[in-house]
Amino acid sequence: MIIRLATPDDTEALLAIYRPYVLDTAITFEYDVPTYEDFKSRIIHTLEDFPYYVAIIDDKIVGYVYASHFHPRIAYQYLAEISIYIDQNYHHQGIGKKLYNLLEETLKKQNIHTLCACIATADTEDEYLNNNSMHFHEHLGFKLVGSHHHAGYKFNNWYNMIWMEKDIIPKNDHPSPFIPYRDL
């Protein structure tokens, strides 16, 4: 497996991974698959401040991970929201863990202290959502910090949204400021 930085030229491959999550699952609360241009814009915007990594096996992109600002207010500069999507044919092969590990190491260099993940969960697992993402994050050291019950409605069902977090740099009284990825 090769991991490299995403480029706007990867848009169609990344959309191909994301599309079934939108159309067939409640993992994302989007109803409509983003357009090519919208998704490309998301990649470009992310790369302004954060890494956006893709995993490649046999010349095929099989997963991606990226970070984003949790909130635009400056005091939140030490907290980054992270997202990951793996081609559904490549689950349970360690790809997600490898992508997260690389992202975490890069975010430490950017002076990010805490990672947070917004995760859809189900009271009762169904064909659209299981709680594997929550368990995956627990396995990587994330802790539950909050939840919104019945926060999203998709496929004629209500789903929960939880927040999980992981500290990656110890807190101190004089943290160094956030460094945009492009400035590393």
| Average pLDDT score over the chain | 97
pLDDT recorded at residue 174: 92
pLDDT recorded at residue 120: 98
Alpha helices in the chain (DSSP H): 11-24, 36-47, 95-109, 132-139
Q: What is the mean pLDDT of residues 10-29?
A: 98
pLDDT recorded at residue 33: 98
The full DSSP string for 76-119 is GTTEEEEEEEE-GGGTTSSHHHHHHHHHHHHHHHTT--EEEEEE
pLDDT recorded at residue 64: 98
Cα gap 169→86, rounded to integer Å: 26
**By C-alpha distance, which of 158, 129, 134, 128 is closest to 146?**
134
Question: What is the tens place of the pLDDT at every residue in 29-74?
Answer: 999 999 999 999 999 999 999 999 999 999 999 999 999 999 999 9
Q: Residue 160: which pLDDT band, with cuts at 50, 70 and 90?
A: very high
Q: What is the mean pLDDT of residues 69-98?
A: 96
Q: Residue 4: which pLDDT band, with cuts at 50, 70 and 90?
A: very high
pLDDT recorded at residue 155: 98
109: tokens are 């260099």
